[in-house]
Amino acid sequence: MHFYRWEAIRTCRLTKADILHLADEKNLGRVEFVQEKVSGKVSWRNRKIGPILDELKKGDVILLSEFSRLGRSMLEVMEIISIAMQKGIRIYTVKGGWQLDDSIQSKVMAMVFAMAAEIERDLISKRTKESLAAKKLSEIKLGRPTGPGKVN
């Protein structure tokens, strides 16, 4: 079994101690710390969490200080959590004491996260449509520039 602790580069000693305490408390065994140096703006698939998630198997564990460490947006975090749950990878967080596995609590939390992700998608769509409508009213030409002088 592999146990990973995922954290951004700003990890402090207290956070590491908290993670190790959680691993001890849950009797998880060895913890491998992974620190990310790449900007959160980079897709999660192109950061260290991508290959790690591909490599982990059913029964493996990801330890986090909090869910927000997985990604920059709620949609990105939800995608990672969804893949982990489908693969049978357990996720534990220090902050909030969350435990996502195949328990009822996890299923309820996954449903809440899914609803939140759907709401975020709807809000993004709404903002995009409002912005496009405002640009059309301002007679700003939409779409890619054509012909000579276009910006690459």
Q: Considering the chain, what percentage of its residues have pLDDT values greater than 70?
A: 85
pLDDT confidence of 98, banded at 50, 70, 90?
confident
Average of pLDDT values for 135-152?
A: 78
Q: What is the model's pLDDT at position 11?
A: 47
Tell me, yes or no, if the pTM score tops 0.85: no
Do the beta carbons of residue 74 and residue 105 sit within 8 Å? no
Given a cut of 70, whether residue 40 has pLDDT beyond it is no
Do the beta carbons of residue 74 and residue 117 sit within 8 Å? yes
Given a cut of 50, whether residue 9 has pLDDT beyond it is no
Q: Which secondary-structure segment (H or E) carries 4?
A: strand 3-8
Going by their DSSP bridges, the two strands 3-8 and 32-36 should be labelled as parallel
pLDDT confidence of 152, banded at 50, 70, 90?
low
Domains and CATH numbers, the chain: 3-137 (3.40.50.1390)
pLDDT confidence of 149, banded at 50, 70, 90?
low
